[in-house]
């Protein structure tokens, strides 16, 4: 069986070329050897940065809203009339 071809067979991991496995980066070692005097400025609470101005909200013009509501009302009325006619025909 040594003469059989290996067509379609996967190579074992040890014989794959160009494939690298992902390794997680090593965690940094704690600096326990460095002991320093506490800084008096480090004890003060940090001042929070000034809040950034939020984006201005623009309000749609009332005339556009009224026109859209009018169109929606007309379409809704037409749909209701069609439904009533269909209910009378199929009843």
* Predicted structure pTM score: 0.34
pLDDT at residue 70, rounded to an integer: 94
The yes-or-no verdict on residue 17 having pLDDT over 80 is: no
Average pLDDT rounded to a whole number, residues 17-32: 63
Instruction: Break the chain into its structural domains and give their ranges.
Output: 61-91
Q: What is the 3-state secondary structure (H, E, C) of the chain?
A: CCCCCCCCCCCCHHHCCCCCCCCCCCCCCCCCCCCCCCCHHHHCCCCCCCCCCCCCCCCCCHHHHHHHHHHHHHHHHHHHHHHHHHHHHHC
The yes-or-no verdict on residue 4 having pLDDT over 90 is: no
Q: What is the pLDDT of residues 42-91, one digit of tens each?
A: 566 677 787 887 888 877 666 688 889 999 999 999 999 999 999 999 98
């Amino acid at each position: 069986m040594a003469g059989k071809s290996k067509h379609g067979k996967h190579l074992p991991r040890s014989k794959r070329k160009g494939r690298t496995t992902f390794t997680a980066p090593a965690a940094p070692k704690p600096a326990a050897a460095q002991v320093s005097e506490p800084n008096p400025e480090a004890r003060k609470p940090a001042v929070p940065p000034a809040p950034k101005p939020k984006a201005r909200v623009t309000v749609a013009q009332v005339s556009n809203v009224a026109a859209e509501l009018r169109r929606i009302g007309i379409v809704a009325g037409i749909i209701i009339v069609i439904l009533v006619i269909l209910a009378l025909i199929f009843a």
